[in-house]
Structure 1
Amino acid sequence: MAEVKVTYDESTDAAYVYLTEPQARVPSARMYACDPAVVDGMINLDFDERGRLIGIEVLAAGSKLPEYLLKSAERLDTEGA
């Protein structure tokens, strides 16, 4: 099974799920914001220049993502670093 890199900043309750190869630094060419009313929060989808989904930003991640995923994520906040 492929591994997916996830970062999490507890101080802002924001997570990012990378859908590119772990060492790749693919720039986002376009961002699509999901309707906050429909998903009950803010979720942004990032696409590369070829239209491929490269990442997902999740705000209010503590209420949107499974706890095991947040616990295993790379921490970006100072308390979890």
Structure 2
Amino acid sequence: MRTTFDAEADAVYMAPVPEIAPGRSARNEVVETSGGTVVFDFDQAGMLLGVEVLGATNLLSGAFLAGAERIDQQ
């Protein structure tokens, strides 16, 4: 599973599928928490495509974030 972290946006994206083609995400479920927001992306058949965590430094451990691919440093 590919996990990316953008420190500037304080956002993590976890994708259990190798690639998400444009337009494949058909439905989003948003969960608001006191520390941030979690968005689940699903395709037309209901398959989970990815999970976005906004407010990642509040909701995820530092060890988890350290292991993610940094996309804000490219």
Q: Which has the higher strand share?
A: 2
Shift of 1:25: 2.6
The residue aligned with 1:28 is: 25
Aligned residue pairs: how many? 71
Q: How well do the aligned residues superpose, as a CA RMSD in angstroms?
A: 1.4
TM-score relative to the length of structure 2: 0.83
Match of 1:7 among 4, 7, 19: 4
Q: Secondary structure at the match of 1:69?
A: helix
Distance 2:69 2:39 in 1: 19
TM superposition outliers: structure 1 runs of 4+ over 4 Å: none
1:6-64 superposed Cα distances (whole Å, 9 cap, x missing partner): 100001100101121x3x33421111111x2xx22211110011011111100010111
Distance 2:12 2:72 in 1: 11
Alignment of 1:1-81 (within 5 A): 4-20=1-17, 22=18, 24-26=19-21, 27-34=24-31, 36=32, 39-40=33-34, 41-78=36-73, 81=74
Distance 2:48 2:20 in 1: 13
TM-score relative to the length of structure 1: 0.77
Identity %: 37
What is the identity, as a one-letter code, of the residue corresponding to 2:65? Answer: L
What is the identity, as a one-letter code, of the residue corresponding to 1:43? Answer: V
Distance 1:28 1:65 in 2: 24
Distance 1:45 1:13 in 2: 17
